Structure 1
Amino acid sequence: MLNIMEVHETNQMIEQERLDVRTITMGISLLDCVAGTVDEVCSNIYRKIVDKAHDLVATGEAIEREYGIPIVNKRITVTPVSLVGAGACRSSEDFVRIAHTLDRAAKEVGVDLIGGYSALVSKAMTPAEERLIRSLPQALSETDIVCSSVNVGSTKTGIDMNSVELLGHIIKDIAYATRDNDSYGCVKFVAFCNAPDDNPFMAGGFHGVTEGDAVINVGVSGPGVVSRALDAAVGRDFEFLCETIKRTAFKITRVGQLVAQEAARRLGVPFGIIDLSLAPTPAQGDSVGEVLEKIGLAQVGAPGTTAALAMLNDQVKKGGIMASSYVGGLSGAFIPVSEDQVMIDAASAGCLTIEKLEAMTCVCSVGLDMIAIPGETSASTISGIIADEAAIGMVNQKTTAVRVIPVYGKGVGESAEFGGLMGHAPIIPVNQTSCEAFVTRGGRIPAPIHSFKN
């Protein structure tokens, strides 16, 4: 539990520095919902989610009131639906019925988002997994809070280029299906390499098959707290800077640990992990970009940006890992362009380009996140972007991901509005030189040499 000094510091962080718990996420296994018909699967899924999560929102709100700690989102993750529906779903439309069931059950219990309309295809696609992937444009355009992910590669298996090539077309179709809303459907989809089993952050969250029947995961935030702490580090050396970030990350994670343990106790569900990622919002003073600029950059994207982010990510992990028994998920620092006002400004000014963002993904928590690109971008170019990012993750043994939004009918210089935590994004240029002959070869890029460990 927090001691009295930590309580005082926590109150200051909440009141003045925008500290929040970004999400309490209940992971729910749907493996016991498998049945012979789609009707039975949908019925089992609805009943299981409502039974397990009916008190999740009320519990989160009670903890907010009693401890004074803002909890921004309450979420659910479920077992990848491609596995749950494999036996019963004979068409993409069958999988869409499960998407509607997830949407309806999540709304019934009052959560903000539900993740797990997902497929794990890092080596190859089964027919069921391909059906789910092909259902995404309809599923994400016809539901409101369902989120989806596809894991296309891993360090152990390589990259399934058949699914990478398919996803370029699927993302374009999602963008078109939600064209009346700045292609918002693409906000709810992410392509992964090395996806973790216990990610509480959307759109990539799902309940891994290695998890138990139900679990509580918590994602903490707090870039504003780190930014404020760095005011004391002006003119000081890297040793002082790193120590300041570590100490601050420790305090932030302690708050998440408290919330996680309390939520797990009240709900009678085991505590899983704390994801200690610095997750920004569009609000002033709640920005990872601002932290990077306080480290010494005139603007995010300047030379030195990747080094500054690497240091920040490492110190956040070093400080946070001592504050919790179980740290997992993504953990580190997110760089979503649309959700961070300083990043938005840098992208709008042309200082932060997609090439620089790709370099930064080598050292950040996840990857190319919430980036709006011209709607005319070809499917093969999007596939090439996914392949590049997956290769970074595969070779470096880290999680990487791509969440790009080809905004239908809009081009460079215009802006896309997503609302809420998703923010808004300037549409930035993408290298349109063709890579079609590469992404359409078919087959699998083999795992790297250092994957051969057993």
Structure 2
Amino acid sequence: MLNTNDILETIQMITDEHLDVRTVTMGISLLDCADPDGRKACEKIYRKITEKAKDLVKTAEDISATYGMPIVNKRISVTPIAMLLASAPDADPVWYAKTLDAAAKAVGVNFIGGYSALVHKGFSAGDERLIRSIPEALACTDYVCSSINVGSTKSGINMDAVKMMGPVIKEAAARTRDKMCAGAAKLVVFCNAPEDNPFMAGAFHGPGEPDCVIHVGVSGPGAVRAALAQLPKDASLDTVAELIKRTAFKITRMGQLVGNLASERLGVPFGIVDLSLAPTPAPGDSVANILEEIGLESCGCCGTTATLAMLNDAVKKGGVMASNHVGGLSGAFIPVSEDDGMIKAVERGSLSIEKLEAMTAVCSVGIDMVVIPGETDAAVISALIADEAAIGMVNTKTTAVRVIPAIGCKEGDVLDFGGLLGYAPILPVSTFSPSVFVNRGGRIPAPLQALKN
């Protein structure tokens, strides 16, 4: 039975507390577009994407207008492009990136993900070519996002790939220096990357997915924070967790409705709801502010990891009751530049990159949208990736690194990306060298947790 109070609360969340559906993402398989002739492959890719996604934006906008639910982003994820490159050894990978960009512009989406490679156990044909092309591909396109999966709980960590990614990230930032180094903001390095992630920059359409599918990513940190603000300060943590669960249930229900409607109208299967709390730079719409509402003076102080663990768990428990198909990342995001409370915590000195790393052990994703000094050595970036991958590998969870070296900037400067990407001050990183470790190469073996059969 519909509860009138629940309906009114959801309306208030939308109007006053920044609640929205963050993204409707169409996943499209490009496996049938592979061709030894790279130019022909690109023609097939463009044709398939523009045919499958031609009504995506209009459908999402119609649903938003009909039901009064803001749908912020309309996006596409595709098969990791490295898989198609394997059959075209003479093709330039950048051709494929430009094709994705052109298709995204033709159908009107704001991002397209899948300029990707899955190299957690080693390199297949096409993988290394794609990785080396990433800086140029991101510099010459507007909407293309890239991701590389370098590790998993089952396979361990491919340290040869980790070593490659440090220089790639630096070059991606350098090639887009005149755009706030935004190339690096569209590149993420994963451990245990999910195949059905609707969020950018890490979305790709996994090989186990259907030919075409609709995924939905919800938001709602502002709604959770506002609900907690009504609790007395001496309410027990059991009460806090219960309220977060109930709020997450309502948020996820909205995402489930949008997903079902989009699936029906577009004639493609509904995939998953990603129930991640995705913050924005808008004041109050912040995961950091939720932690502070629970009882921290400032995000990053002692107690931050514990409160974040409770938040993440409560969000998952509430969300899974609202949808039979929860997937993607599904947790609390902590991107620095995209979260007003996180930005302020960095500015006041309470949040360090070391504390962020500890937080990633208990929440969704990892060191995300963090601006680091431009002169940071590539080996340091690679070692940071290895640290995050180790947390994901050992804890059987997704972790990732999306850092932006601020080329030509100094400590205290700010990179302002605008829009949902926000802005962030430069966070200092340890300059002690891990180069001997990084240069060893090889693989970090899979942990004992991998032996579950």
Superposition TM-score, scaled by structure 1 size? 0.98
Counterpart for residue 124 of structure 1 = 122
Q: After the TM superposition, which residues 270-285 of structure 1 pair with which residues of structure 2 at under 5 Å, given as runs?
A: 270-285=269-284
- Cα deviation digits, residues 356-379 of structure 1 (max 9, x gap): 000000011110000000000000
Tell me what 2:357 maps to: 358
Cα distance in 1 between the residues matched to 2:350 and 2:4: 44
Is the 2:113–2:200 Cα contact (8 Å) retained in structure 1?
Answer: yes
Q: 1 CA distance for matches of 2:214 and 2:344? A: 36
Question: 1:97, CA displacement in angstroms?
Answer: 0.3
Residue number in structure 1 paired with 2:443: 444
Aligned to 1:98: 96
d(CA) in 1 for partners of 2:239 and 2:219?
22
Deviations along 1:398-452, one digit per CA (max 9) or x if unpaired, are 0000000001001211100111100001001000100000001011110001211
1:336 maps to 335
Q: Which amino acid aligns with 2:284?
A: G
Structure 1 residue aligned with 2:348: 349
Given the alignment of the two structures, is residue 237 of structure 1 paired with residue 236 of structure 2, yes or no?
A: yes
The correspondence of residues 191-270 of structure 1 with structure 2, limited to 5 A, is 191-233=189-231, 234-270=233-269
The one-letter code matched in structure 2 to 1:83 is: M
Q: Secondary structure at the match of 1:406?
A: strand
3-state SS, counterpart of residue 294 of structure 1: helix
Task: Specify the SS of the correspondent of 2:184.
Answer: helix
Tell me the alpha carbon deviations over residues 38-91 of structure 1, each in whole angstroms, 9 at most, x when there is no partner: 011000000000010000000000011000000000000000000022111435
- Gaps in structure 1 of 5+ consecutive residues: none
Residue of structure 2 equivalent to 1:39: 39
Q: Name the structure 2 match of 1:369.
A: 368
2:338 counterpart letter in structure 1: E
Offset of residue 6 of structure 1:
3.7
CA distance in 2, matches of 1:419, 1:327: 30
How far the C-alpha of 1:5 sits from its partner, in A, is: 4.5
Alpha carbons 1:339, 1:422 under 8 Å: kept: yes
Task: Say whether the 8 Å CA contact 2:192–2:398 is kept in structure 1.
Answer: yes
Deviations 1:284-303 (Å, cap 9, x if unpaired)?
11111110000000000000
The equivalences for 1:135-214 within 5 A come to 135-214=133-212
Q: Match of 2:452, as an amino acid?
A: K
Residue equivalent to 2:17: 17
Question: Is the Cα–Cα contact under 8 Å of residues 390 and 400 in structure 1 kept in the other structure?
Answer: yes
Cα distance in 1 for partners of 2:19, 2:401 equals: 27
Task: Note the C-alpha offset of 1:8.
Answer: 2.4
Which letter does structure 1 place at the counterpart of 2:133? S
- Which deviates more from structure 2 when the two are superposed, residues 81-90 or residues 30-39? 81-90
Query: Aligned-pair RMSD on alpha carbons?
Result: 1.0
Matched with 1:88 is 88
CA contact (8 A) 2:120 2:156 kept: yes
Give SS of 2:410's match: coil
Matched AA of 1:386 = I
After TM superposition, give the deviation of residue 386 of structure 1 in Å. Answer: 0.1
Contact 1:253 1:320 in 2 (8 A): yes
The 5 Å alignment of 1:295-444 reads 295-444=294-443
Deviation (angstroms), 1:349: 1.6
Decide whether the 8 Å contact of 2:38 with 2:90 is kept in 1.
no
Q: Could you tell me how far apart the structure 1 residues matched to 2:312 and 2:189 are?
A: 22
Against the structure 1 CA distance between its residues 183 and 2, is the aligned structure 2 distance closer, same or farther, given a 3 Å change threshold? farther
Tell me which amino acid in the other structure corresponds to 1:85: L
How many angstroms apart in 1 are the aligned matches of 2:7 and 2:31?
41
2:94 alignment partner AA: V
Q: d(CA) in 1 for partners of 2:227 and 2:42?
A: 49
Q: What SS does the aligned partner of 2:230 have?
A: helix
1-structure distance, mates of 2:112, 2:3: 34
Structure 1 counterpart of 2:291, one-letter code: L
Name 1:79's counterpart in structure 2.
79
Length, aligned pairs only: 452
Identity over aligned pairs, percent: 63
Any idea what the Cα deviations from partners look like across 1:245-283, whole Å, max 9, x if unmatched? 000000000000110000100000100000000000001
What is the letter of the counterpart of residue 330 of structure 2? Answer: S
Cα pair distance change 1:295/1:359, threshold 3 Å: same
Partner Cα distance (2:449, 2:404) in 1: 33
Q: Distance in 1 between matches of 2:239 and 2:150?
A: 40
What stretches of structure 1 move > 6 A for 4+ residues in a row? none
> What do the CA deviations read for 1:297-345 (whole angstroms, capped 9, x no partner)?
0000000000000000000000010000100000010000000111001
Which residue identity lines up with residue 201 of structure 1 in the other structure?
F
Decide whether the 8 Å contact of 1:23 with 1:73 is kept in 2.
yes
**Does the 8 Å contact 2:112/2:144 carry over to 1?**
yes
Tell me which amino acid in the other structure corresponds to 1:310.
Answer: A
Please state whether the residue corresponding to 1:339 is helix, strand or coil: coil
CA shift, 1:167, in A, is 0.4
CA deviations 1:77-124 (Å, max 9, x no partner) are 000000022111435xx1100000000001000001000000000011
Deviations for 1:1-47, whole angstroms, at most 9, x for unmatched residues?
96654432221110111110000000000000011200110000000
Matches of 1:167 and 1:89 in 2, distance apart?
A: 22
Q: Please tell me whether the aligned partners of residues 189 and 400 of structure 2 are also in contact (alpha carbons under 8 angstroms).
A: yes
Q: Residue 127 of structure 1: CA displacement?
A: 3.9
Instruction: Give the AA of the match of 2:38.
Output: V
| Residue aligned with 1:274, SS | strand
User: What secondary structure does 1:190 align onto?
Assistant: strand
Q: Quick one: distance in 2 between partners of 1:357 and 1:245? A: 22
More moved, 121-130 vs 399-408 = 121-130
Q: Distance in 2 between matches of 1:12 and 1:232?
A: 14
Mapped to 2, the partners of 1:409 and 1:246 lie a distance apart of 44
- In structure 2, C-alpha distance between the alignment counterparts of 1:8 and 1:294, rounded to whole Å: 23
